[in-house]
Structure 1
Amino acid sequence: MDKIQLIATAAFGLEAVVAREVRDLGYEDVKVENGRVTFTADLLAICRSNLWLRTADRVLLKVGEFKAYSFDELFEKTKALPWGDWIPEDGEFPVEGKSIRSKLFSVPDCQAIVKKAVVEKMKLKYKRDWFEENAAKYRIEVALLNDVATLTIDTSGAGLHKRGYRTLSNKAPLKETLAAGLILLSYWNPDRVLIDPFCGSGTIPIEAALIGKNIAPGMNRSFVSEEWPVIPKDLWRQARKETHDLAQYDRPLRIYGSDIDGEVLKLARYHIEEAMLEDEIHVQKLPVSELASRFDYGCIICNPPYGERLGEVEEVARIYKDMGKVFRKMDTWSQYVITSNPEFETHYGKKADKKRKLYNGRIECTYYQYYGPRPPRPNKEQTQE
């Protein structure tokens, strides 16, 4: 088991960011496709990728991939895979499925056939006819796309967006993975100021602080594969030690959040405390029309209202116009805005320097990017001060 294949699943539009993160972990054999990044690695990579990937949805172990035009073919090729190398005789192995543009379009039938095939292979491996399935979980997925079946086992458990700091939620929270993606797609770095004038429950500022301090997003949560006997406990200890060794807890940051909703700011403060970042992130109640900063350079990254509901169109148009007026005064700042509203640039009053299609959940959005000038490098005297 020197080499294995892993799949980091991703929201559409974030695949390249996930691939960059995978390469930053040291894994070079990377293949980018819609919604997923496949890479060759080792057992330790299961631990490290779950702990470190900020923009991936989850990490799957790829057991096999093959063409399947009939149920018999699906059964025989699934049975031929080395399930016993991963699943112990008391392991729980539910099967989920999906099918897109494939002859085998009945997902329940595909799930049942894969389950039966895995059981038959397990019978051969463990010389028994019945499996209690009362130990660690190995969630199998059969994904059919254009008649190609990909068989995987989920190594993450809860989605990777669940960092552990957001125990409460407002009505429409921005996923942590998307928030991290917005930051990693920007020109922000830990030496620059960051402002989120629509911070809501605090997700963008918190993710920025985690990035700025190089704190692994999965440091304070558990993963289903931690219970797998096939992965030595020493590997998990090694991977978790790495997260502590590489974290830059003392690195100073200048991150600010504001929102017009005082109640949602209470959530933001609570989540910031849960993430132990209250010394790094400062939030206040403030309408975007009053936004200002004493700093000459920085990045604004925000997720303003979209105007999806009836009656919000005029209000959102006014907000976008206020953003345009205020942000233009901060013309040395880089500004990044995600919204599904197709009229954003019209109301904002300026065409973006770059646009990128992203998805906020199932909502198709555009990430509008406005680039400010590069900040001057501090001279030696300023650095010494």
Structure 2
Amino acid sequence: MSKVEIIATSTFGLEAVVAREVKQLGYENASVENGKVTFTADKLAICRANLWLRTAERIRLKIGEFKAVTFDELFEKTKALPWAEWLPVDAEFPVEGKSVKSTLFSVSDCQAIVKKAVVESLKKSYNKSWFDENGPLFKIEVALHKDIATLTIDTSGAGLHKRGYRRLISGAPLKETMAAAMIQLSYWNPDRPLHDPFCGSGTIPIEAALIGRNIAPGMNREFVSEDWPSIPKKLWQEARRETHDLAKYDRPLEITGTDIDGDIIIVARENAEEAMMEDAVRFRRLPVSGLRADEQYGCIICNPPYGERLGEKREIEQLYRMMGKTFSAMDTWSYYILTSYPEFESLFGKKADKNRKLYNGNIKSYYYQYYGPRPPRKEA
């Protein structure tokens, strides 16, 4: 099977996590740059990456890359790319663009030139003068960075964070991709309890349940490239069959989520039902001050309010002090906390063993990681 170049786009700060997932899928040649992970594989990898990558934003097919400092260069080099290998005669192919530190800074002009170049390429391949564009969608992107133009086609459609289970959301939802990354950056595993004391609409507990049962995050949604004639249907069937073969539907898990807002707990339960994880996750109303644990060696993973939701600085400071007091009493547990609040560690009362800069949406945040003692080894 012929090889293709694939780009898994990423939130800044999560590139290494995405690269690790790509390698776990069996693609060892991944290269990491800001905001993306690139690897070479067969067409089946397009299907598998869309279905399995938990922390990538979307999967793009790389058609070509070249230097372009004039519009003529951009036109001719785009026209020379093998568009007809992917776009059928009835393809719908809008063009999006972006330009950073490049001579060709007018995005709208670059989009128009790329569109015209693709049309001219297809005219030659299909011997046609007009294209109705009433078939499958191929969303093209021209991305210019320091005069290097990268031409890609989006294979995902809706972003990969849209798993399909979150019909109802809270006011400041955490993206599913970020929740999955927080879990994968922790030392949690399916044999340990996990608790989120600020669960909101349930994203962290639900993502943990999907990870714990090895359920592909894209199993229950569709992707735009499923309609492409250039990717045989049998490849999608093979990739989807793999997701069912590898799932551990009956694996027992100890995952809970609590929140002070009783209405949002109802939403979390409904989202868990949509994800078919209602038997794996328990939700209940509880303030963080009431948190207790009978279990040992668990993990708290949470995204507490940063200040925007509660509004008052004094309330946030009181909350973080309460978290420090409550969490420290659970002395065998590890805890992982994402917040943008700059004085978090001093309010929490303890310096993190490790922190990592992440972007939660456009908000620069830090993921504070506090490691508890290692769980004792289970006897064989």
Same-fold call, TM cutoff 0.5: yes
1:88-133 Cα shifts (integer Å, max 9, x gaps): 0100000000000101000000000000000000000000000000
Aligned partner of residue 299 in structure 2, secondary structure: strand
Q: For the residues of structure 2 that align with 1:59 and 1:106, how far apart are their CA atoms?
A: 25
Match of 1:383 in 2: none
User: How far is the alpha carbon of 1:379 from its aligned partner?
Assistant: 2.7
Q: Following superposition of structure 1 onto structure 2, how do residues 255-274 of structure 1 map, counting pairs within 5 Å?
A: 255-274=255-274
Residue aligning to 2:113: 113
What is the 5 A alignment of 1:201-350?
Answer: 201-308=201-308, 311-350=311-350
Q: Is the Cα contact below 8 Å between 2:102 and 2:144 reproduced in 1?
A: yes
1:27-83 CA distances to partner (integer Å, 9 max, x unpaired)?
011100000000001100010000000000000000000111111110011001000
Q: Which residue of 2 aligns with 1:367?
A: 367
Distance 2:35 2:200 in 1: 27
CA distance in 1, matches of 2:167, 2:257: 19
Deviation at 1:308? 3.1
Alignment partners' CA distance in 2, 1:310 and 1:224: 39
Aligned to 1:87: 87
Identity of aligned residues (%): 70
Q: Match of 2:9, as an amino acid? A: T
- In the alignment, structure 1 segments of 5+ residues that lack a partner are 381-385
Aligned amino acid, residue 181 of structure 1: A
In 1, Cα distance between the equivalents of 2:252 and 2:303?
25
Query: Root-mean-square deviation (CA), in Å?
Result: 0.9
Deviation at 1:278, TM superposition (A): 1.0
* Contact 2:310/2:316 (8 A) holds in 1: no
What is the aligned partner in structure 2 of residue 140 from structure 1? 140
| Residue identity in the other structure for 1:271 | N
Verify the 8 A CA contact 2:7 2:62 in the aligned structure 1: yes
- Distance in 2 separating the partners of 1:310 and 1:292: 24
Match of 2:61 in 1: 61
The CA distance in 2 between the partners of 1:131 and 1:160, in whole Å, is 30
Q: Distance in 1 between matches of 2:225 and 2:369?
A: 38
Indicate the residue corresponding to 1:169 in structure 2: 169
Letter in 2 for 1:136: P
Q: Residue 267 of structure 1 aligns to a residue in which SS?
A: helix
Write the deviation string for residues 180-231 of structure 1: whole angstroms up to 9, x where unpaired: 0000000000000000000000000000000000000000000000000011
CA distance in 1, matches of 2:265, 2:82: 50
- Deviation of the 1:169 alpha carbon: 1.7
How many pairs align?
Answer: 380
Partner of 2:29: 29
Q: Secondary structure of 2:328's partner?
A: helix
Question: How has the CA–CA distance of structure 1 residues 142 and 345 changed in structure 2, closer, same or farther, with 3 Å as cutoff?
Answer: same
- SS of the aligned residue for 2:65 comes to strand
Aligned-partner SS, 2:84: helix
Equivalent position amino acid for 2:363 in 1:
I
The secondary structure found in structure 2 opposite 1:270 is helix
Amino acid at match of 1:175: K
> Counterpart in 2 of 1:73?
73
Q: Which amino acid aligns with 2:212?
A: G
Runs (5+) with no aligned partner, structure 2: none
Cα deviation 1:136-171 (Å, max 9, x = unaligned): 000000000111100000000000000010012221
Under a length normalisation based on structure 2, what TM-score does the superposition of the two structures give? 0.99
**Within 5 A, what are the aligned runs for 1:121-200?**
121-200=121-200
- Displacement of 1:309 after TM fit? 6.2
Give the drift of 1:87: 0.2
